[in-house]
Amino acid sequence: MKRILTAVVCACFALGLSAMEKNIKSSNLRTEDYIPATEGLKLKYKVYDGNEKFVATYIMALEKVEGDMKQGKVVFSYDFYDADGKAKIPDGKKLVITCNVNNGETTSSIDELSVVTKVMEFMPKGDISHLPGGLKAGDKVQDGYVTTKVGGLNTSFTVKERKVVSEKKVKVPAGEFNCIELVEKQFDKTVFTKEFTVRSFYTEKYSLVEQWISDKKGKPVLHIVLVDSNVE
């Protein structure tokens, strides 16, 4: 159960929207920069394991955008498929994350918590909710922290040592994008704390273009890459 809660928190942070996030005001969130906020946008990613073996595909769809970053709602859906193209969530279900914003504070919910267990190992990490516009190489970004409680269980998620290490054009199957390269450390805490190093390339509108995740010892864990947009 605690691993499930951590996955929910990580998923929301990767989208740039956190559960019970503190001290994040609407003036710090610019949707024209790194947070996807175009209704109808669909992004397709391929996921590779630490040995660069293709293991999954997922399609993220921005289903609904209402209001603004002071008072509004954003709904994301995810479809996950294994390397053979078979749906990882049965019965045609999707992973759906609904994010409600009230005076710059964001709370997130998931329709069916049980589906997270089937796809959490393929989810991206990192936090784009604290990324202001105009970031340049050498800029440091504030830490992020979230905690949540469900059924008496607590979990937390922290990102630290965050720095934009470069600005460059990144070529992936979906195209070539002007990106910032952000490196950060992520700490997932349930009973124990797990540490990861996350290296991500972000661009305007589409947000995540490519990401590498490694464990505390530097061993590669996951590689995620954008392969298509507005997928039919």
CA distance 178 to 64: 26
Q: What is the pLDDT of residue 102?
A: 75
23: how many CB neighbours lie within 10 A of its CB? 11
Domain spanning 2-229: which CATH class is it, in words?
Answer: mainly beta
125: how many CB neighbours lie within 10 A of its CB? 22
Asked whether the predicted pLDDT for residue 15 surpasses 80, the reply is: no
Instruction: For residue 47, name the pLDDT band (cuts at 50, 70, 90).
Output: very high
Asked whether the predicted pLDDT for residue 16 surpasses 50, the reply is: no
Q: Which amino acid is at 40?
A: G
pLDDT tens digits along 90-116: 888 888 888 777 775 666 677 666 777
Say if residue 116 is exposed, middle or buried (CB neighbours under 10 Å; 0-12, 13-18, 19+): buried
pLDDT tens digits along 55-88: 999 999 988 888 765 677 888 899 999 999 999 9
Q: Hey, where are the domains in the chain?
A: 2-229
Say if residue 130 is exposed, middle or buried (CB neighbours under 10 Å; 0-12, 13-18, 19+): buried
Is residue 115 within 8 Å of residue 95, measured between CB atoms?
yes
CA distance 198 to 96: 24
Most confident range (mean pLDDT) of 34-48, 170-184, 198-212 is 170-184
What integer best gives the mean pLDDT of the chain?
Answer: 78
Nearest to 201 by CA among 139, 128, 140: 128
Q: 31 versus 106: which is more confidently predicted?
A: 106
